[in-house]
Homo-oligomer: A and B are copies of this chain.
Amino acid sequence: MEKAGQRYSRQREEILKIVRATKTHPTADWVYEQSRHKIPSISLGTVYRNLNLLADEGIIRRLVFEDGKVRFDGNVDEHHHFVSTKTGKIYDIDKKYSQELIDKLYQDTGFKATVCKIEFFGEVDSEEA
């Protein structure tokens, strides 16, 4: 899991722990604020560097939603998202919808996709206002 030439750092460990512990699909800034609880001296640059490094290695996922902000996700299994139009909260949706869709697209159009990303938008009944 550790790449050659890479060293342990408390900062990276903490950042990874934070991203894995939440389902909120956080931005770099949110991770920065959280990490400061444990490591007050940590810098925003370090958070960005490590999030990108972890994402490049496939240890976490990098996502972009309609607001244009980059978000990170500790869940690297392929899956989709449901965005609440009321609160902006993002829920994980099972990956099972992909394959049939990809097959159908290929039959219809000849476009051969290897992956697909689905985002649903709607209201979630169980949410508070």
CB contacts (< 8 Å) of A113 on chain B: these are 82, 120-122
CB contacts (< 8 Å) of A82 on chain B: these are 105, 111, 113
User: Which of B68, B93, B112 is A111 in contact with, Cβ under 8 Å?
Assistant: B93
Copies of this protein in the complex: 2
User: Which of B64, B91, B104, B117 is A97 in contact with, Cβ under 8 Å?
Assistant: B104
CB contacts (< 8 Å) of A67 on chain B: these are 64
Interface pair A112/B122, CB less than 8 Å apart: yes
CB contacts (< 8 Å) of A2 on chain B: these are none
Q: Jot down 23 A-B pairs with beta carbons below 8 A, ordered by A.
A: A64-B64, A64-B65, A68-B68, A68-B69, A68-B70, A82-B105, A91-B111, A93-B109, A94-B108, A97-B105, A105-B120, A112-B122, A112-B124, A113-B120, A113-B122, A114-B122, A114-B123, A115-B121, A116-B120, A117-B118, A117-B119, A117-B121, A118-B119
